[in-house]
Amino acid sequence: MHIDDIGRHAPANPFAAALAESGITELLAELERELVGLAPVKARIRDIAALLLVDKLRAERGMVGGAPSLHMCFSGNPGTGKTTVALRMAAILHRLGYVRKGHLVAVTRDDLVGQYIGHTAPKTREVLKKAMGGVLFIDEAYYLYRPENERDYGQEAIEILLQIMENNRDDLVVILAGYKDRMDKFFESNPGMSSRIAHHIDFPDYGVDELAKIADLMLATMHYRFDEEAARVFVDYLGRRLAQPHFANARSVRNALDRARLRHASRLLQDPAACNDEAWLATIRAPDLLASRVFSVSDARAAAGEPPPC
């Protein structure tokens, strides 16, 4: 055999071949494009994907080590991308053959817990039936447990979930989500649930720069844009809004943009003659943001570069 033929006839790297065949690289790249920031979350998802791919290769070669536990907990404040990551996780699990369908069923307590005796079990089992072959995402999962109410039926739902999570873990992955401190208390009160969760992933809050990038991505999706002054004002808005209570990260950014679009439309309606090209229809300007209650009258003038009133 000629020396040049050695590499040509050598067996391909099995890991590289399996990685290319799985399409995981494309899914992870898509996650990177969709989500701003969240570096530790993305790194953990990559680690889990790598573990599952290696586990699959080992199983194909008879290296039996037991199927990995895949139930997870996503903890963090609202608007930090937990549902989006859960969707991508479902796709990854499907590509690697760990779930049959790869769909996501997102629920809350109201979808699982009944209001009277005999109501909870059928509700919970119906949800589980829909989720089989995919991922069940339970948001604000700590509301399932209400020890202060003796007549609450959440514990019944938890017991059914525990049974299915153990007996059907080869056909269902459960992701519990919610505020970190409340999820910690939930697990302390429910050690059976805690023992079944293999992966705990914390979702950090976004900073101002990351939120501004998220806003740009949202605007592009809606075919809007900020002009230069509006972009500067929105960064100012974010800094002020972050200092206020009940800020929900990307969710609050979307709400702010929706209100800016309303003001933009109202402004055009008041002066339709000025709307003489497509740029007017697509451009959010500073006044559309400065009308927010986040800015006081004097603050709005200053942000717009206007002199204070005499």
- Look at residue 12 and tell me if it is in a domain: yes
Distance CA 173, CA 52 (A): 13
Q: What is the pTM of this model?
A: 0.84
Q: Which residue do the tokens 């009940």 mark? A: 246
Q: Are residues 244 and 163 in the same domain?
A: no
For 52-164, strand residue ranges (E) read 72-76, 104-107, 135-139
Residue 7 is predicted with a pLDDT of: 43
Residue 26 is predicted with a pLDDT of: 87
- CATH number of the domain that 222 lies in? 1.10.8.60
- Look at residue 140 and tell me if it is in a domain: yes
Q: Are residues 122 and 240 in the same domain?
A: no
Q: Are residues 111 and 245 in the same domain?
A: no
Provide the token pair at 156.
């019944």
Provide the token pair at 139.
């948001």
Q: Are residues 150 and 261 in the same domain?
A: no
- Look at residue 31 and tell me if it is in a domain: yes
- Look at residue 310 and tell me if it is in a domain: no
Q: Are residues 49 and 183 in the same domain?
A: yes
Beta bridge partners of 202: 75
Residue 1 is predicted with a pLDDT of: 42
Q: Are residues 149 and 190 in the same domain?
A: yes
Residue 134 is predicted with a pLDDT of: 96
Q: Are residues 214 and 193 in the same domain?
A: no
Q: Are residues 158 and 222 in the same domain?
A: no
Distance CA 224, CA 52 (A): 40
Q: Point out the domain boundary residue: 181, 203, 225.
A: 203
User: % helix / strand / coil in the chain, to the nearest 5?
Assistant: 60, 10, 30
Q: Are residues 192 and 241 in the same domain?
A: no
- Look at residue 187 and tell me if it is in a domain: yes
Q: Which of 291, 262, 252 is nearest to 79 (CA)?
A: 252
Q: Is the separation of the CB atoms in 146 and 42 below 8 Å?
A: no
Distance CA 105, CA 126 (A): 12
- CATH number of the domain that 8 lies in? 3.40.50.300
- Could you give the number of structural domains in the chain? 2
- Look at residue 308 and tell me if it is in a domain: no
Q: Are residues 53 and 127 in the same domain?
A: yes
Domain carrying residue 296: 208-303
Residue type for 115, please?
Q
Q: Are residues 100 and 72 in the same domain?
A: yes
- The SS3 of residue 200 is strand
Q: Which of 120, 100, 118 is nearest to 110 (CA)?
A: 120
Q: Are residues 249 and 119 in the same domain?
A: no
Mean pLDDT by runs of 10 across the 310 residues of the chain is: 44 71 83 90 92 84 78 96 94 90 95 88 96 97 85 89 92 96 94 92 96 96 95 97 93 97 92 74 94 74 46
Q: Point out the domain boundary residue: 173, 188, 203.
A: 203
- Look at residue 309 and tell me if it is in a domain: no
How many other CB atoms sit within 10 Å of the CB of residue 26?
A: 12
Q: Point out the domain boundary residue: 151, 179, 203.
A: 203
Residue 12 is predicted with a pLDDT of: 65
- Look at residue 28 and tell me if it is in a domain: yes
